[in-house]
Structure 1
Amino acid sequence: MASPSLLVDTVTRAAHAFALSIAPPLFAPEPGPGSIAGALVAAIVLAAVVLGAIRLAARVRSPEARFAAAALVLSVVASLVVGAYFRGPRAPLGRGVLFVAVPLWTGLAACAAIVAPRRNARLVASAVVALGLVLFGASAAWLFSTPQMWWQTVLRDGDARRALDVITEPQTRARDHAAALAVADRCLTLKPASCACASRRAFVVLHLRDTPRALDAAHAAVGMCSADPLAQAALAAALAANGEGKRAEEVARAALVDADEPLLDYALALALDQQGRTTDAAASARRAYEGGAGRDAAVLLGALLIRENDLDGAEKVLAPIAKEAPNDAEALFDLGIIADKKNDYNHARERYLAALRADPSLTAARRNVALLTLRFGVVEEAKHHARKLVEATPGDARSVELLRRIELGALERSAPPPAPAPTK
């Protein structure tokens, strides 16, 4: 049996597909989340179309009326099928609009021909078809392009959050935060009042590790959309990155009172972690991860579990990220830490080096591979990485000391080596 939420969503999406098929320039190709009230209204509208079609066939006993009624009923059935099918990975809903539009406009043209004077029936039907062609012609720029459907969703107040997730997916997968920022900036240029665009921009700037800009962007998002939980989550995350853990916690907890938003749990985890409350942070990060907050929540949870010495739990969370995105330096680095702590030389070395290939500026990975190879007696490789570390961190006394000790052979083999650098 279908769940109530699935039925609500399907009926709401079906009505939206029906409306989109009537006037594609007016509606977003992907609607926002449905509600029970919206689903009731949608069901009433669709039922009214079916009942109206049946009544037409009963009152006007002619082949033309039966044809018109059948076409209208078919359009409603098609809208339900489209609403159920074009969702999740098969979204946006706009991909199915033509399956509804063809029978719908055929039925409308047939109805127009029935009510028009007999001598003008064909002319009126043709006018209805021409109107439909004009409306769909005005939407031709996005009608046959899924990427453009997502942009139209942002511009027309559809599910902008989902649309931005899809639009920025290539940049997110490549960890190309500069390109993701360009998308967010374009989003705000096209729709300056978009809360989703403003909040997304703040999170993207955070990934660039530009905390002052991230704070400015988050404050701008909250100033524009104070009730938006994503804007509040961005502000809490930026405050945590700025070392204001207490204030970040206050913002996140206050917003969680009114919104069940996984990214708020993620921001709360950052705030708690900044205060050194690792166990509480891990609990919040797990709620965010299980609630669907995505990659960032998973990486944070993995890092926190490593600190709690739950290595198997951390690997379970992080391994799918590295499998899906082999260039995710943070996930690879943390997986290297896990293997390192398990004394698994081959996997630890492989993951540290993979993290360095993905992000050559990740000096913690360089330090850890130097320590790892030294511990296992691969001294020349340890020297190589220690020298690279000195080059990458000019003026860092720890790097210089590590290289000096390796080159002088002063690091005793029997003594336990320094622990791997902690995950970020």
Structure 2
Amino acid sequence: MSPAVPKPDHVADAAVYDFDMFADPAYVADPHKRILDLVKNAPPVFWTPRNGGHWMIMSHEANFAAARDIETFSSNFIPKERLAAMQAQMPRHLPMPLPINVDPPDHTKYRAPLQKVFSPKTINGLKDSIRELAGQLIDKIKADGKCDFMTSVAEPLPVVVFLKMLGLPLERMEEYREIVSQHLSDPTPNPIDSIKKLWRIVDSIKDTLEERRVNPQDDIISMLWKTEIDGQPMTMADMENYSVVLFIAGLDTVMNGIGHGVRYLATDLPLQDRLRQNPELVGEASEEMLRRFTFTVPPRIIGKDAVFNGLEMKKGERAMLFLPAADLDAKAFANPDTYNLDRENKTHIAFNAGVHRCLGSHLARVELQVCYEEMLARLPRFRLDPANPPTFHCGHVVGVSSLHLVWDT
């Protein structure tokens, strides 16, 4: 657990709840079990003294409101003036994860070039190749009767897909994954360390960025080089900004969603049987997985002094959109702790809401659904390995670290 910091004077005692989103022991042991406990016992919005002190937005209603109120819950962590001053003091360009770290109108102009790449039509065109890769990964482990699903399937599937989309060399996958893991692991990063981590990401792909500038191919990096922003040609600084956010999002997030879903399937053998008999239900099953096991926690900074949910918040304070709690809110979902394939309301906010709704949601949905379909089609009933229980990591992504499965051969 990180050290507790003193409560600010404007924070009411009743609004304080002690929770460490990176290191709470019960949370790391079984994240969604701990989230259910928080939903029942913590305030719908609270301030925690851990990790430097910050707000946690818990309820579905509060998350939905905060996600759409970009003036109060801003993604613009570094104002333009301060960023310009920082850039002037740096020995090289300081890459910023765009468009996720800015608000409109800048967010709109930086997001626009990516819309076509992640459109439903474009992603559906990748479905056959994603299915082929999933089948290959599963067939490789089928005869073994066991696997660590995360390293065998859940990680390589979305990572290989995304490296191909970006145009990055597959043989460097382990190096890229290690860079992303280190980037996401520090709950209260030192600013200088954060900058160095961003530079490390850029350095790992700079050769590909430069090569695609003169030798474009059929990939996202090449496409971005052909794009204009505000009528101006793309610069290397723009490409570095895009690359860090695509690199981080594409190489980490989806694998954890797959892990949570397959973990649950391994505990519900009747559900496996039902889906094998009715594969057309896998899409609905996947949506309920996303609701029941939402796994992203987007950070925000309070953009102005405000009163939200009856609580006084000050400009510059940090807030977390705790989407996993929102999708387990009993006021939004009946019996939220129960996985219910037949649930009428599966309208989750696992991909966030408002202008910052996840750009890659179409790709994530295809990867999740295809992986479940191929697992159920190619493997017999799979179960959790009782000798090796699942392990997890927490933070801005609630992740599955290891997931050992067994099945009869």
- What is the TM-score with the length of structure 2 in the denominator? 0.22
Relative to its length, the structure with more helix (as a share) is 1
Q: Which has the larger radius of gyration?
A: 1
Could you say which structure has the greater relative contact order, defined with CA pairs below 8 angstroms and 6 or more residues apart?
A: 2
- What is the TM-score with the length of structure 1 in the denominator? 0.22
